[in-house]
Chains A and B, each alone.
Chain A
Amino acid sequence: MSDLRFAICGLRFCPWLRHSLVLAEFFLAVNILNAATNDFFARGIDLSRAGQFPEAAAAFENAAQRQPAAGTLVNLGLAEWQRGRAGAAIVAWEQARWIDPFEPRAAANLKFARQVAQVDEPPLKWFEQESTWLPPNAWVWLAGASLWLAVGALVLPGIFRRRKAGWQQTLAALAFMVFLASLTANVGVVSRTQIGFVLKKNAPLRLTPTRAGEIISTLTAGEPARQLRARGNFLFIRTTGESGWIESEDFRRLTDD
């Protein structure tokens, strides 16, 4: 009891001790989260090997919901494909590539799946294509860092009464060029968040956002489209050929967790 009182007194009068404990708790929580994620991942691998693909997909989905990871999503796509869900598999692999554009398995599987399912890649504009060269978050950090580097290189010597050196101006120019280049990529990233994929086979595309709405056409699982707006349980999407309303459960965007 006296030890506990001593510990409480120590926490009250030693701020550094208190801060250390909070930090330790944070790292402990992160470790627990990572451990749980890894557990789900390992379980998913085991279930996949056992041929229990629905259960494996559920395990990988759990892991991905806790912490989206490229490898987890690749495996989720494989499990979904084995279950016969081409649309869900394509979404998972696209999300894996969204996290890590250099993930080779996701790219290869997407090519394979699109050949089998006879669906196209989402058509990208030039700035969206540019945004695929790096992970989405990398572009935004690059843009922020380059902008403030350019501003700093121009402004700080004046503030600190230093002579503006040539290298500083060159650095500012280069940083500003990088900023301009990354700006279009950032626009591409934002634009790509509209892209999604049809999950269900023969998903009806309707003229109006109701279940009684006239069916314009039926969409193939894995077909890409852009979500333009939402109304109730329906999403207005534009595919390569037509536009219409689809039920939200039949469509998933790249950025839907």
Chain B
Amino acid sequence: MRLSSLKFFLLLALAPVCLRAQAPPQIPAALQAQLQVAQAPVDVTSPVTATAVFDPPVVRVGEKTFYRVTVSATESAIQWPEEIAAPVALKFGANARGQITQFLGNNFRVFTSFIYEIRPTAAGHFTMTNFTANASGPLVEIPAASLDVVADGASPQAARQLGLEISATNVFLGQPFRVRVTLPPGPGNEIEALREIQFNGDGLMTDKTAARQSIEAVSVNGQLRPMFACEMTVTPIAAGPLKFSAQGFTAGREFSGPISIHAPVSLSGGPAKYVLLVSEPVAINVRPLPVEDELPGFTGAIGKFFRNPPQLATNRLRVGEPVALKLTFHGEGELTRFVPPATPRTRDWQIIADPPPATSFTLIPLTDDVHETPAIPFSYFDPALAKFVDLTIPPLPVTVVGESLPVQLPALDEETKSAAPVKLSAPAPAPGKTVASLKPLQRRGWFVGLQLLPVAGFLALWQWDRRRRFLEAHPEIVRRAQARRALRRKKRQLQSAFETGDAPAFVRHAADALRIAVAPHYPANPHALVGGDVLAQLADAERNGRAGETVKQVFAAADAQFAVDAKVQADWLALKSELDAVLLKLEEKL
């Protein structure tokens, strides 16, 4: 127990050492200064209010009017009903919503507008009754609004709308195109700015950084009237037919960013009136890119681009030394979304892309084997030609020299002199000692196989010695083998004598063959044997039969040749077939 307490207190004592706080993140000085400036608060204490109007409040039958509700709360805070109760004669069209922040001197106030396009189908006085909406807790009452629909013939004021013009209606996926949102002047040709411009529709990406504002003179009913215009770049990100409209808040004199004015302008005084306006929808057709024809190095650049010849800072380099490859692209159309070539990966070069918007590269040779810079694949899609165009950066010739390593060390004094030589040797004048391969014989299969040859030799010798010892112990085997060999030899001589018709030689060889065939059975030298010895080796039936008679005739004929008046009888050769049969039987016994 005491030990546990001790451990606990020790842990507590060491806690400050072990548990160190994380280092606070370093904030840049400019950002720190901005954070230190007191920012105006957002007004969240004022009660949420709402207004509802028809714009214009008087229309003809079938004409367009807008039912606009403005609530002083954020868009996300308002739980807006899906459907609004309205008179049957009011036909609802497209709707939109938007949020804007108004600076009221010492604080910000957020307003959200809901706008419905309405076309009345009958004349009369119509009222949208009041209703409530939840604004993150408190219920806000939307007041009633009235619309007078007059019969044909009257000329009430038309509904105020944004204009929407597009530079292309048939585009490729990813092809940026210009969209122009215009705001016609109000009563008295007063120009107002537009804020919070956005496009309603799926499959579009808006680049607000490339927006250009201007005030231009536009001919309306034969009269030149100033008009606020804002040009933006839109990129389709989905293929197929797309439909979209624009919306924005009128903002009085609150022009955001630079504006170019090309017409006489009168600006209204007083605080801005933030009114949400929408435009008529426009339709475009987005075609997919022919990906099957895509060329290497396509980074998504769509348009028409050109490239100046690449410029290398120097064409004589050292290994590891960076060199700048300057690339300049220019093109027709939108360059804001131009994606420079991707950095290729090669073994011999380290390639670093310069930070955007620069399109240049820094190249570092890693070896002196290279003789040109790497080709940098790049291509773009030309929508006019509807095909990919190759714009690869070609390789440029370079000379790369290796890192310099010393070939000689400075002379050292006696104390610091080491055993190592102070310079490299001279080149070898001849190739010198050679080998078939650097892989040693120990690692080669054939050499291991070669070692089996002596083993096989020794095994053969051992086997030979065993056989020899066996034959020494069994001499009859040797005698029989020798007899078989001698018999075969004698048979050949017998056959030869028979074929030549040499009867004396025939009977001589026949007698010798018979002696050789029976010699191992005694054992005895074949020359010491007589016809009786041969007959003794025959079976009784054979001995008394034709075989025995043949043997006797052969030996008689052979003996007769030793007589003084030896007579050769031609019928000796007729014994051949019987003799062969006898020899065959005797050979089988060997």
Residues of chain A touching chain B, judged by Cβ–Cβ distance below 8 Å, are 37-38, 41, 45, 48, 53-54, 63, 67-72, 74-75, 78, 81-86, 95, 98-100, 103-105, 108-109, 111-117, 135-137, 139-141, 144, 148, 151-152, 155-156, 158-159, 186, 189-190, 193, 249, 254-257
Q: Which residues of B have CB within 8 Å of A103?
A: 432-433
* Distance A70 CA – B438 CA, assembled complex (angstroms): 11
Tell me which residues from 369 to 421 in chain B have a Cβ below 8 Å from any Cβ of chain A. Answer: 369, 402-407, 409, 418-421
Q: Does B437 contact A (CB under 8 A)?
A: yes
Knowing A159-B465, A189-B442, say if A54 contacts B368 (CB, 8 Å): yes
Q: Is there contact, CB below 8 Å, between A148 and B438?
A: no
**Interchain residue pairs with CB less than 8 A apart (16):** A54-B368, A67-B435, A68-B434, A70-B434, A82-B405, A82-B407, A84-B319, A117-B405, A137-B441, A140-B442, A151-B458, A159-B461, A189-B442, A190-B442, A193-B443, A254-B438
Query: How far, in angstroms, from A153 to B278 measured CA to CA in the complex?
Result: 112
Q: Which of chain A's residues has its CB closest to B451's CB?
A: A144
The residue of chain B having its C-beta at the shortest distance from the C-beta of A106 within the complex is: B425
Q: Residue on B with the closest CB to A138?
A: B441
Q: Which residues of A contact B465 (CB under 8 A)?
A: 158-159
| Chain B min CB distance to A235 (Å) | 17
The answer to whether A99 and B433 have CB atoms under 8 Å apart is: yes
Q: Are A156 and B461 in contact (CB under 8 A)?
A: yes
Instruction: Give chain A residues whose Cβ lies under 8 Å from the Cβ of B447.
Output: 140
Interface residue ranges, B against A (CB under 8 Å): 319, 347, 368-369, 402-407, 409, 418-443, 447, 450-451, 454, 458, 461-462, 464-465
Inter-subunit contact B434/A78 (CB<8 Å): no
| B438 near A255: Cβ-Cβ < 8 Å | yes
Of A54, A74, A85, A95, the contact of B438 (CB 8 Å cutoff): A95
Across the interface, which residues of A come within 8 angstroms of B462, CB to CB?
155, 159
A53, B431: Cβ atoms closer than 8 Å: no
8 new A-B contacts, CB < 8 A, other than A63-B431, A140-B442, are A78-B424, A78-B427, A81-B424, A116-B409, A136-B441, A140-B440, A151-B454, A257-B438
Chain B's nearest CB lies how many Å from the CB of A35?
A: 12
- Known contacts A71-B428, A71-B431; A108/B421 CB under 8 A: yes
Partner among A67, A108, A139 whose Cβ is within 8 Å of the Cβ of B425: A108
Q: How far is the CB of A197 from chain B (nearest CB, A)?
A: 14
Which B residues lie within 8 Å of A54 (CB)?
Answer: 368-369, 402
Residue of A nearest to B422 (CB): A112
Chain B residues, CB < 8 A from A100:
432-433
Query: Known contacts being A82-B405, A144-B451, A151-B458, is A190 close to B440, with CB within 8 Å?
Result: yes
Give bound CA distance, A111 to B420, whole Å. Answer: 5
Least Cβ–Cβ distance between A225 and chain B, in angstroms: 18
Q: Are the CB atoms of B428 and A105 closer together than 8 Å?
A: yes
B409: chain A residues within 8 A (beta carbon): 112, 115-116
Question: Whose C-beta in chain B lies nearest to the C-beta of A77?
Answer: B424
Contact A70 B424, beta carbon cutoff 8 Å: no
Is B439 touching A255 in the complex (CB atoms < 8 A)?
yes
**How many Å lie between the Cα of A136 and that of B420 in the bound state?**
26
The complex places the Cα of A152 from the Cα of B465 at a distance, in Å, of: 15
Q: Name the A residues within 8 Å of B451 (CB-CB).
A: 144
Distance (Å) between the CB of B402 and the closest chain A CB? 3
Secondary structure class of chain A's binding surface, majority of residues: helix
Q: Closest approach, in angstroms, between the C-beta of A1 and any C-beta of chain B?
A: 42
**B431→A85 contact, CB < 8 A:** no
CA distance A49 to B422 in the complex (A): 21
Within the complex, the shortest CB–CB distance from B423 to chain A, in Å, comes to 7
Residues on B with C-beta less than 8 A from A81 are 405, 407, 424
Do the beta carbons of A68 and B425 come within 8 Å of each other? no
Chain A residues with Cβ below 8 Å from B437 are 68, 257
Give chain A nearest CB distance to B353 CB in angstroms.
Answer: 19
Do B427 and A75 touch (CB < 8 A)?
yes
A109 adjacent to B427 (CB under 8 Å): no
- Checking A68, A74, A116, A186 against B405 with a beta-carbon cut-off of 8 angstroms, the contacting residue is A116
Contact residues in A for B443 (Cβ distance below 8 Å): 190, 193, 255
Q: Which of A84, A109, A151 has the most CB of B within 10 A?
A: A84
Q: Which residue of A lies closest to B367 (CB)?
A: A85
Complex Cα gap A105–B433 (Å): 13
Across the interface, name the chain B residue whose C-beta is closest to A85. B402
Task: Tell me which of B421, B429, B435, B439 contacts A112 (CB under 8 A).
Answer: B421
- Give complex CA distance A195, B450 in Å: 27
Q: How far is the CB of B467 from chain A (nearest CB, A)?
A: 12
Residue of A nearest to B440 (CB): A136
Whether the pair B440, A189 counts as a contact (CB closer than 8 A) is yes
Within 8 Å by CB of B402, from A82, A108, A151, lies A82
| With known contacts A67-B434, A72-B431, A254-B438, A84–B424 Cβ distance under 8 A | no
User: Which among A53, A85, A86 has the highest number of chain B CB atoms within 10 Å?
Assistant: A85
* B-side contacts of A254, CB under 8 Å: 438
A82 to B408, CA, bound (A): 11
The interface residues of chain B lying within 8 Å CB-to-CB of A152 are 458
Give the distance to chain A from B569, nearest Cβ to Cβ, in Å: 48
Q: In the complex, A37→B433 CA distance in Å?
A: 13
In whole angstroms, how far apart are the Cα atoms of A151 and B419 in the complex?
46
A69-B434, A257-B438 known; A86 vs B405 contact (CB < 8 Å): yes
CB pair B428–A74 under 8 Å, yes or no, is yes
Contacts of A189 in B (CB 8 A): 440, 442
Q: How far is the CB of A82 from chain B (nearest CB, A)?
A: 7
Q: What chain A residues lie within 8 Å of B438 (beta carbons)? A: 68, 95, 98-99, 254-257
Contact assessment for A71 and B429 in the assembled complex, using a CB-CB cutoff below 8 Å: yes
- Nearest chain-B residue to A114 (Cβ)? B420
- A40 (CB) vs chain B CBs: closest residue: B431
Q: Is the CB of B402 within 8 A of A74?
A: no
B contact residues around A68 at 8 Å (CB): 434-438
Contacts of B440 in A (CB 8 A): 136-137, 140, 189-190, 193, 255
Alpha-carbon distance between A84 and B320 when the two chains are bound, in angstroms:
11
A189 to B451, alpha carbons, bound, how many Å? 18
| Assembly CA distance A69 to B443 (angstroms) | 19
Which residue of the partner chain A has the closest CB to B345?
A: A211
Which A residues lie within 8 Å of B461 (CB)?
A: 155-156, 159
Residue contact A41 to B368, C-beta cutoff 8 Å: no
Q: How far does the alpha carbon of A85 sit from the alpha carbon of B428 in the complex, in Å?
A: 19
Alpha-carbon separation in the docked complex, A110 to B305 (Å) = 56
Whether the Cβ atoms of B435 and A137 lie closer than 8 Å is yes
**CB closest residue in chain B, given A53:** B402
Flag if B405 contacts A84 (CB, 8 Å).
yes
Distance between Cα atoms of A100 and B403 in the complex (Å) = 29
Output the least CB separation between A212 and chain B (Å).
13
A216–B515 Cα distance when bound, in Å, is 94
- Residue of A with least CB distance to B431: A69
CA distance A159 to B468 in the complex (A): 10
Instruction: Count chain A CB atoms within 10 A of each CB in B347, B440, B451, B464 and give the residue with the most.
Output: B440
Assess the A48–B442 pair: CB atoms within 8 A.
no
The reply to whether B404 and A84 contact each other, CB–CB distance below 8 Å, is yes
The verdict on A72 contacting B432 (CB below 8 Å), with A109-B425, A159-B461 known, is: yes
B404, B431, B441: which contacts A140 (Cβ < 8 A)? B441
